[in-house]
Structure formats: C-alpha cells, structure tokens
Amino acid sequence: MTFKHDVQIRLLTDTDIALGPGKADLLAAIRETGSISAAGRRLGMSYKRAWLLVETMNQCFRSPLVAANKGGAGGGGATVTALGEQILAEYRLLQDEVARVVEARLPHFSQHARADR
C-alpha cells in the first residue's frame, strides 16, 4: 500500500481562520467573476456564507483583500485588491511547497504500511 496525503494549510488568528483552502478558492472565484455572489454560487455556497468569509478575511489583514461596490443601477461587483492578489499568490506557493515536502516524505511511511489495507 502507498500512502497519499491531504495536507490543508490554514492561517489562523486567535479567533478566526484568516485564510484556508476555501477562502483562497473564494478569492480566486471573485477575481474571475467580479462578484461575491457569483463566486459563491460557483463554489456552491450561499451569498451570505460568501460574504461572511470575505468579511472575515478583510478583518484579519491590515487592508481588505476584497473591495465590494454597492449595487444599484450600475450594478455592484467586487474586486480582489492588490494585497488580496499578493496574499493569494503567496498562499498558493505555500500550498505547493508544503505538498512537495510531504510528498517527498511519504515513501518512508509507505514502506511500513500494511499490505492488506
């Protein structure tokens, strides 16, 4: 048997998850759709849930990661800020680096795995 990994990186404050896989995916979806609502729908979450995640992210960093525009005749919309883009890119690099390290260490564990599992 060969072991696989499912390492998920979560950046924590004392009270919140500032950034994790779901929030990173939400940031990417907001960047692609220009909308918190559309990004939430794309990821299968309610508008309220998407907004709560955005609010949490924005409160955990010195500057907002997402800037939202009020709706109305011209429509609303949201954009990932320059800081949001930077944080998302750094988070994705961190995910990749950790995955490579874990992948390199798995053979040690797999050599001791039971064959009947």
Residue 68 maps to a domain: yes
What is the rounded CA–CA span in Å between residue 45 and residue 69?
Answer: 20
Residue 86 maps to a domain: yes
Please count the structural domains in the chain: 1
Residue 102 maps to a domain: yes
- Domain hosting 36: range is 11-110
- DSSP per-residue string spanning 64-115: -SEEE---STT---EEE-HHHHHHHHHHHHHHHHHHHHHHHHHHHHHTTS-T
Residue 45 maps to a domain: yes
Q: Which two tokens stand for residue 41?
A: 């729908």
What is the rounded CA–CA span in Å between residue 89 and residue 56?
Answer: 19
pTM greater than the 0.85 cutoff: yes
Residue 4 maps to a domain: no
Residue 70 maps to a domain: yes
Does the pLDDT of residue 74 top 70, yes or no? no
Q: What's the pLDDT band for 85 if we cut at 50, 70, 90? A: very high
For 12-71, what is each residue's pLDDT tens digit?
A: 999 999 999 999 999 999 999 999 999 999 999 999 999 999 999 999 999 999 999 876
Residue 63 maps to a domain: yes
Indicate which CATH number applies to the domain containing 77: 1.10.10.10
Residue 103 maps to a domain: yes
